[in-house]
Structure 1
Amino acid sequence: MSTLDTSWLRAWSELGLAPPAGLFEQLIAAYQEPQRHYHSLQHLIECLTHFEHAHHLAEHPGEVAVALWFHDAIYDVRGKTNERQSADWAIRTLAACKADQATLERVEQLILATKHDATPIRPDEQLLVDIDLAILGARPQRFAEYDQQVRAEYSWVPGLLYRMKRRSVLKSFLARPSIYSTSYFRERNESQARVNLSGIVGPIS
């Protein structure tokens, strides 16, 4: 059984809910849309694999898993509300499956946390955001591939503007006291992430 199949079945079992027929296939199709180069099925599988190893850290593992499945479900390369739309899809789905209100609220916040516009506070949000950012601490070859994939998604942005904006985003991560919120990912990814990011933005004075 593949990582995708295993994760899917486990997530819904831990939620104590039954997924709608065809939803698995809809999400797989979404992650294979042609405009995706990084926010693709490869990224989803990498996130789910990281979670498989860090599953024991989750307070509500089924919610973290389903949030990972939906966190990039909507991806418009020019869009400003991808996370909001992805969260809305997840909430509609879970509500139709009779999930309780607390679950709906937590999953919504988990997905919105992947906007990376604020430091996550709740443990499950910290874990999910660290999983989403694990790519920053990937081995150099994979990080270089990731950097190329992101550029491909923004191929419509002129080179000079792209490099300026991209450097600003990555510099903001590098400027943090710690890129990762959980000790698990700090121990495994922090040092390499700083090497990878410094290679693009240079050292932070």
Structure 2
Amino acid sequence: MRLYTFQHSPNPLKVRLALAELALDCEMVEINLFKGEHRSDEFKEVNPHQKVPVLQEEGLILRESNAILTHLGRTRHSELWPLESRWEALASQWLFFESFSLSVHCGRIWWTDVVAKAIGRPGANEALLADAVEELERSLDVLESHLSTRQFLLGKSISLPDFSVGVTVAMLRETRLDSADRWPNVIAYRERLRSRPSWTQAGGDKIHQFG
């Protein structure tokens, strides 16, 4: 099994966390996005979309982080992925929530408030940022309410969807939306994820470390 990754990018981190929690051996191939290595002809053969992560396993190539999480859950028969249909549907729903309600908007805020400042590049334009803030406030309110009665997305125990939603929420640390006053349950949830050994093993804090 081989994972094409980049240590500073959130989407590959989701997969590295899952691999760490599942204790799976995997060859890591670092693709430096800042140096443009994802645009090389060699990598285009791996992923024509020129993005990471990419997981290769026994002839299967998966190029989307949430698809990789689903694959790992369904094939490893771990407690991290529910196999009962009702709970599997709920797990999938949270992966869709991350993809459509959090990911793009968090990315714009994270890039502007964290990455661009650190590496000297321009952030997103103000209109896009205003839209991202508005959408995220709504989505974070939903997540805040959900987490008021449970530690993790599916209850008391962590599951693979937490690595998707949790990493994306963690992108907002040290940004304009990092508010423990408005979203205390979300912040506590983020810190539960960051306190796990797998977070350190996967290099979780590197999504805020540049230079």
Q: TM-score, normalised by structure 2?
A: 0.31
Higher strand proportion: 2
Q: Give the TM-score taking structure 1 as reference length.
A: 0.31
1 or 2, which has the higher helix percentage? Answer: 1
Higher relative contact order (CA 8 A, sep 6+): 2
